[in-house]
Amino acid sequence: MRPSVQLLDNTLDCTLTFTDHILNLCKKAGRSVNALARLSKDLDVKSNLVLFQSFVMGHFNYCPCVWHFGRRTDVRKMIENVEFRCLKYIYKCIIILRLLMES
């Protein structure tokens, strides 16, 4: 890990790539996705989407103008993986119901 400084909940490293900061964001958002996965079975899609917007995307929507342009493609993939995991839990119920109604 490179030397870094925590400033207003943003991790700044000496090269300003913000990789450490985005790794921390993905860890926090991943924990929120795990909690949402446990709750998604008991809630409807609209409630799950509200929770997704507030708890998962809330991590990525705080100060994105600071770290957005320092992203590399591998870091972008990590963010997309977290978002995809969450959306998979939200819409899994709908896909299963559609498959049951078709058969």
Tell me if the pTM is above 0.75.
Answer: no
Q: Please report the pLDDT score of residue 66 as a whole number.
A: 64
Mean pLDDT (10-residue bins), the chain, 103 residues: 74 76 85 85 83 83 68 74 82 62 57
- Please, where are the H alpha helices in 1-103? 19-39, 45-51, 57-60, 64-67, 73-102
- What is the sign of the dihedral through the CA atoms of 61, 63, 64 and 70? negative
Q: Please report the pLDDT score of residue 45 as a whole number.
A: 81
Q: Please report the pLDDT score of residue 86 as a whole number.
A: 81
Query: Where exactly are the structural domains of the chain?
Result: 4-102
- C-alpha of 28 from chain center: 8
CA angle 18, 80, 23 (to 5 degrees): 30
Q: Please report the pLDDT score of residue 91 as a whole number.
A: 79
